[in-house]
Structure 1
Amino acid sequence: MKRIAIVGGETHIHEVTRLAGQHLTIVGAVVRESQKAKAAEDFKCPLFDSEAALYEQAKPDVVAVANQNDLKGACVLRALRAGCDVVADKPLTISMDEQREIEAFLRAHPERRLLVLLTLRGQGMWAEVRNQVRDGTIGRPAFCHVRMAVQLMRELRPDWFLDVNRSGGLFLDLLIHGIDQVEWALDSKIVAMTATMGNLGYPEDVNLRDHAAVYCELASGATAIIEGQRMLPEPAGADYRMLVAGTQGYLDLDFGESTLHVTDREAKRRAITEFPETQSVLADWLAGGDLVDQESSLRANRLSILATQSAEEQRRIVLD
């Protein structure tokens, strides 16, 4: 089993902890002072006062980075330079300078591995959308719409999460999944992006962002819209959807309702009920798999930074 250390444990660390004892051993963690009691209970491992002490004494093979978003990039680089592989909750970093530095380090050190937890790739229903597209069920994809809506839950969020300068905003913290799904399912690269991001629910909070959307042009000639909000009313926890329209029909996924339908050229609609088995993208990666390959991890984060820049600068960005 791989020896894994945790830095942060702020969000989605369950992807790591649920594999403890099967695929990995948690050998140590560094968390904020206010998190220590819960971390000791959840992680069941020694806690360290610094990353340097963690790496020197616990000697991990892999570091799981899940601290606040604006600190992640520097933490990822320190772990890589300490000779560890890295698994990071999204986003990898909110800074393009750090993005370039991470990419350059990995080019210079091909023995190192990195994974961003793009967990939707492991969900059977999302994987089946990709399978249906690649099987030609709906012909050539022409348009894709991804929706990712969640509750804001202000009272449960740490302060940094509600500050765009520290969280990075909706593209980096949420819609990165949709951006990745568009390229993965349609098997085509995004070549241009035009985005918006704003705050309609709490205009008095100048650093909050509660909605965003990006219009994407793909190399295949298809287009996509990826949009999301932190406005979902209770009791719904999340509303994730994906529609792909092609030259011979369309696919319609409603993740909340656990349904996937295909409509053919004769307008006959049928439910798809058999899906690939759901799998952990982290377990796959630890076993040497490439369900989420390193290039895709880096690219999804880079595209999310560019979408954020497009929204902030109010301009269309053409990718190199």
Structure 2
Amino acid sequence: MPDAPLRMAAVGLDHRHIYGQAGHMIAAGAELVCYWTEGQPETLPGFKKRFPDVPFQPLDDIFARADIDLILIAAIPADRAALAIQAMEAGKDVMVDKPGCTDMDQLHAIKDCVARTGRIWSVNFSERFEVPSVTKASALVAEGAIGRVAQTVGLGPHRLNRGTRPDWFFDRKQYGGILADIASHQIDQFLHFTGSTDAEITLARAGNYANPDDPGLQDFGQIVLQHGDCHGFIRVDWYTPDALPTWGDGRLTILGTEGTIELRKYVDIAGRPGTDHLFLVNGTKCEHMACRDVGLPYFPALIADIRDRTETAMAQSHAFKVMELALLAQRLAED
């Protein structure tokens, strides 16, 4: 008989990333059986629209259920670590929205809990795991299409959408800072594409240059990092202009010793329709690839990891290191 589907619950719906976490896991074969959230976050109607048959349950009841394998968490960032620890101590594996935590004490507590319980703590770095063009870029790099990776340049602009943002969005202690939050995506991609297991942060900056009435908001950040002869540059911001037809023109350029790959993940402002545009230039090719239909292997791999107790979706050490570096960059920017 085929294996029973993995069963999961959503805990904390404060960020709309929960839609992608749940939706992609369902597409990979998992079953969402219940949810809990505190209060009435702005995302709740959208969650109910997408998953109308999923009932609410009290948090303690969810953690007590023996038939739930995985907890999805997209709570207020400062609350995610405590919920993850509670879930793991109840015998559940965890997929948390980024940032997985907001300070080093939380990260240390998560590491201790993983070591003690043997549970999986996975962070859904959606700008890699939910982007088909990144899947294609990963395959090209692995094939040697651009030689050895020497640098990544990751750009993460976002639209502020002020009217839709809850109070915690403007509270530094609640969201963790722009580098710990948004730039964790680009740190993940640097480590992934360079094959690095660590990095040195050589520059970190964060500031508020356009929103003086919101002193808790950081609307600009940048990081320079290095590991051996691999280099990375990261810029993140909340400056996406209203005329852009999507929330941000996220880009990634991967410089290799024998070529380059550029990703225009969400829009091509040159006019090509749709998302997931990849441009490859090497010794024999100069071409555009449409990657919208390339798969998203993280989600089925996580299901397999939960079943087999493996680390094929993402190494546990990688999740820890990304958050460690993001938190270190945030601290350096604020010192």
Q: TM-score normalised by the shorter chain: which range applies?
A: 0.7 to 0.9
Alpha-carbon distance change, 216 to 61 in structure 1, aligned in 2, over 3 angstroms = same
- What is the match of residue 277 of structure 2? 259
Alpha-carbon distance change, 261 to 20 in structure 1, aligned in 2, over 3 angstroms = closer
Q: Which of 59, 72, 82 does residue 64 from structure 1 map onto? A: 72
* One-letter amino acid of the structure 1 residue matched with residue 319 of structure 2: S
Alpha-carbon separation, structure 2, partners of 1:57 and 1:131: 39
- Answer with 157-166 or 70-79: which moved more: 157-166
Does residue 22 of structure 2 align to residue 17 of structure 1? yes
Kindly tell me the number of residue pairs found equivalent between the two proteins: 308
Alpha-carbon distance change, 84 to 270 in structure 1, aligned in 2, over 3 angstroms = same
TM-score in terms of structure 2 length: 0.83
Alpha-carbon separation, structure 2, partners of 1:142 and 1:299: 20
Contact 1:145 1:242 in 2 (8 A): yes
Alpha-carbon distance change, 24 to 233 in structure 1, aligned in 2, over 3 angstroms = same
Contact 1:121 1:291 in 2 (8 A): no
Unaligned runs of 5+ in 1: 314-320
* One-letter amino acid of the structure 2 residue matched with residue 239 of structure 1: D
Contact 1:130 1:186 in 2 (8 A): no
Look up the SS of the partner of 2:138 in the other structure.
Answer: helix
- What is the match of residue 313 of structure 2? 291
Look up the SS of the partner of 2:295 in the other structure.
Answer: coil
Deviation at 1:178, TM superposition (A): 1.0
Query: Deviation string for 1:137-187 (max 9, x for gaps)?
Result: 333333321101110111111111122211012223222111111111121
Look up the SS of the partner of 1:243 in the other structure.
Answer: strand
Contact 1:154 1:162 in 2 (8 A): no
* One-letter amino acid of the structure 2 residue matched with residue 28 of structure 1: C
Does residue 184 of structure 2 align to residue 168 of structure 1? no
Q: Which of 204, 210, 226 does residue 195 from structure 1 map onto? A: 204
Contact 1:170 1:212 in 2 (8 A): yes
Q: Which of 270, 278, 287 does residue 271 from structure 1 map onto? A: 287
Contact 2:168 2:174 in 1 (8 A): yes
TM-score in terms of structure 1 length: 0.87
Contact 1:73 1:95 in 2 (8 A): no
Query: Deviation string for 1:61-118 (max 9, x for gaps)?
Result: 21111110010111110111111111111111112111111112212333x1222112
Alpha-carbon distance change, 125 to 25 in structure 1, aligned in 2, over 3 angstroms = closer
Does residue 250 of structure 2 align to residue 240 of structure 1? yes
Alpha-carbon separation, structure 2, partners of 1:214 and 1:94: 17
* One-letter amino acid of the structure 1 residue matched with residue 138 of structure 2: R
**RMSD, matched Cα:** 2.5
Unaligned runs of 5+ in 2: 269-275, 306-310
- What is the match of residue 272 of structure 2? none
Alpha-carbon distance change, 310 to 46 in structure 1, aligned in 2, over 3 angstroms = same
Alpha-carbon separation, structure 1, partners of 2:34 and 2:145: 48
